[in-house]
Every structure is written in C-alpha cells, then in structure tokens.
C-alpha cells in the first residue's frame, strides 16, 4: 500500500490548519478570503500532481450499514458514463434482489450474478456454502480478468473471507490479474488485514444506531433490500 510522502502529509496538515482557521468567527472578510485562496492553491497543486487514472481496489467494511449501498452508488456512476459493470453477490441470492430488477434497465452494460443462498445461519450447510463461494469466486475471476468491464463489485466477499470459505491469498492473487485501469469493489464486514493492506481505498462503516438492534424494526423494502 502506498505510503504518503512528507510533502503530501504537509499538505494535509496545512489544509487542516486552514479549515480550522476559517471556522474562526474572529477573521475579517479579507483574512477569510486570503486563507481560502491559500487553500485553493494547495489543493490545485495536489490535483495537478496527481496520477490521472488508476484502477482501484476498494474495500467497504465495518459493522455499520451502507457498505453495499455505497458500492451500488459507484455502480450507477459507472453505468452513467457508459461503462460495463459486473456484480457478483457472494452471500445474497436466496431471494431476488430488488437492485437486480433496477439494473435490468442497463442490461446491455451490466452482468448481475446473485450466487449465494442466503445468510450462513440460514443455509446451515458449510460444505454447500464453500461450494457456492468457490463458484462465485470463479465467476468473479472471469470479470476481473476481462478488460471489457470497467468495474466489478464483489458483494459480501469479505464475509466469505472471514468465514474461511475462500483463502485470502487466492483473492489477492486474483486481484493482481486485473487490467491496470479496472476498479474492483469488495464489500462486507470483517475484511482481512491483508486485503486492507492491498487496497487503494478503504472505508469502515461504524455502527452507531440500528433500527433492528435498538428498536426491533425488521428489514424494510427500499432500505435494506
């Protein structure tokens, strides 16, 4: 994983300091303008020096809600740009997901495979879960290697890794085979440290409140599924 250079760290610190300073109510209008001007200069310089394009490995993990939802937002962006996208769902699949019906409007751009059989406490069959995870991973590799697909979403694969249905070494080796400009998103709680280390972008969703845990509210259409 790329480490921040001293120059990048200094830019982060300066931007942070400028943000703190412009929040002060004691600044005059001229002082505020100058500080915002300086912030723009720092930001513009960073953007000018940035790499123009790179295929990213993106991990959405953590116990909070929204990991798949955030990934689907990126899917919509890619579809909006006319890119081809593949979605492979590792755990979900015992029901017809609503997002699959929505994405049928882009059937010439998207491939959607719900290859699980539901949550592990529903299936209660480890051997079958292993077989399903293995089949989903083989299907994933087809799209990871295929240069025609700009984005591949491996939904809930982190759970398969956490449950030892897939070796993390195999997944890392597969990710290494992707074309340089392809993006791959891996979602699910419990992402292993080796995957986090390899990823370019990692977001951890933090659980603060949840309606099921705190109020006993069941999963609802349009929110959870």
Which sequence positions are flagged as catalytic?
63, 65, 67-69, 77, 119, 121, 156
Note whether 140 and 146 are within 8 A (CB): no
Whole-number Å distance between alpha carbons of 86 and 110: 6
Whole-number Å distance between alpha carbons of 105 and 116: 23
* Torsion over CA: 210, 216, 217, 218 (sign): positive
- H-helix or E-strand spanning residue 211: helix 211-215
Q: Which residues 6+ apart lie within 8 Å of 103 measured at CB?
A: 75, 79, 87, 110, 112
């Amino acid at each position: 994983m790329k480490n921040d250079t001293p120059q990048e760290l200094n830019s982060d610190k300066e931007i942070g300091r400028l943000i703190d300073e412009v929040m002060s109510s004691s600044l005059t209008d001229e002082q505020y303008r100058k500080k915002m001007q300086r912030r723009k200069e720092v930001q513009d310089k960073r953007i000018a020096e940035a790499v123009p394009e790179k295929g990213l490995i993106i991990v959405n993990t953590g116990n909070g809600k929204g990991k798949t939802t955030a990934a689907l937002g990126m899917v919509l962006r890619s579809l909006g740009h006319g890119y081809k996208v593949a979605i492979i769902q590792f755990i979900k699949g015992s029901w017809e997901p609503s997002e699959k019906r929505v994405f049928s409007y882009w059937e010439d751009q998207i491939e959607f495979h719900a290859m699980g059989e539901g949550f592990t406490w529903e299936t209660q069959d480890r051997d079958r879960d292993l077989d399903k995870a293995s089949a989903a991973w083989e299907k994933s590799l087809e799209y990871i290697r295929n240069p025609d697909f700009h984005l591949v979403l491996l939904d809930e694969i982190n759970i398969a890794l956490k449950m030892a249905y897939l070796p993390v070494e195999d997944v890392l080796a597969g990710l290494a085979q992707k074309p340089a400009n392809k993006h791959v998103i891996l979602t699910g709680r419990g992402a292993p440290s080796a995957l986090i280390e390899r990823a370019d972008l990692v977001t951890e969703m933090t659980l603060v409140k949840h309606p099921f845990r705190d109020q006993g509210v069941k999963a609802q259409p349009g929110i959870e599924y």
